């Protein structure tokens, strides 16, 4: 695989990992949590993440992408990971990009968009009263071929978490 595309695939794997990190052990009703008027719920946010990745797909396969809302957060998450998998496969295949698109623009546009939204999911966890435990991501087990919902547990979770909820144990 071309070396820049290999790094882009690593970006997608990091996105899969961080999204699952933000969703792991979330409260059952987290998908519909509304932090404030005009702020997307987690389900809406994941759908938007799938949408920007689906838009990115159109630069490989053409057409348009406009995902309809699904019934549950779990289904939204599944679709998000499917789109990650499609993109990674196109990159691995060496499929050409259309309409003047470049790897750099994929990175600065939809891929980075989705990464910022993964951070927003984590913020919503905190606002919903169920924060995500911190870890050292630099040693996290992030693998290019691991793009689905089944992501590794943290290699190096923080031992100290000043804002931890009651009952948290490292």
Residue 4 or 71: the one with the smaller Cβ distance to another protein is 4
Task: Enumerate the H helices of the chain as residue ranges.
Answer: 3-23, 42-61, 73-93, 103-106, 112-127
Residue 89 or 108: the one with the smaller Cβ distance to another protein is 108
Residue 32 or 71: the one with the smaller Cβ distance to another protein is 32
Residue 73 or 124: the one with the smaller Cβ distance to another protein is 124
Sign of CA dihedral 110, 113, 119, 124: negative
Burial 86-122 (b: 16+ CB within 10 A, else e): bbbebbeeeeeeeeeeeeeebeeebbebbbebbebbb
Please report, as ranges, the residues that interact with another protein according to CB under 8 A: 3-4, 6-8, 10-11, 13-14, 17-18, 35-36, 38-39, 101, 103-105, 107-110, 112-113, 115-120, 122-124, 126-127, 129, 131, 136-140, 142, 163
Least Cβ distance, residue 77 to another protein (angstroms): 17
Specify the 3-state DSSP secondary structure of 143: coil
Least Cβ distance, residue 71 to another protein (angstroms): 25
């Amino acid at each position: 695989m071309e070396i820049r595309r290999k790094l882009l695939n690593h970006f997608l794997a990091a996105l899969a990992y961080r999204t699952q990190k933000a969703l792991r052990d979330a409260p059952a009703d987290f998908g519909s949590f509304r932090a404030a008027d005009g702020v997307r719920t987690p389900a809406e946010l994941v759908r938007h993440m799938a949408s920007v990745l689906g838009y990115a797909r159109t630069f490989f396969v053409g057409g348009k992408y406009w995902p309809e809302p699904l019934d549950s957060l779990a289904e939204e998450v599944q679709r998000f990971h499917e789109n990650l998998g499609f993109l990674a496969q196109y990159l691995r295949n060496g499929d050409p990009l259309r309409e003047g698109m470049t790897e750099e623009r994929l990175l600065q546009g939809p891929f980075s968009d989705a990464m910022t939204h993964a951070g927003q999911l984590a913020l919503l966890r905190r606002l919903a009263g169920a924060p995500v435990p911190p870890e050292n991501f630099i040693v996290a087990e992030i693998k290019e071929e691991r793009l689905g919902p089944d992501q590794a547990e943290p290699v190096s979770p923080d031992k100290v978490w000043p804002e931890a909820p009651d009952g948290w144990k490292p």
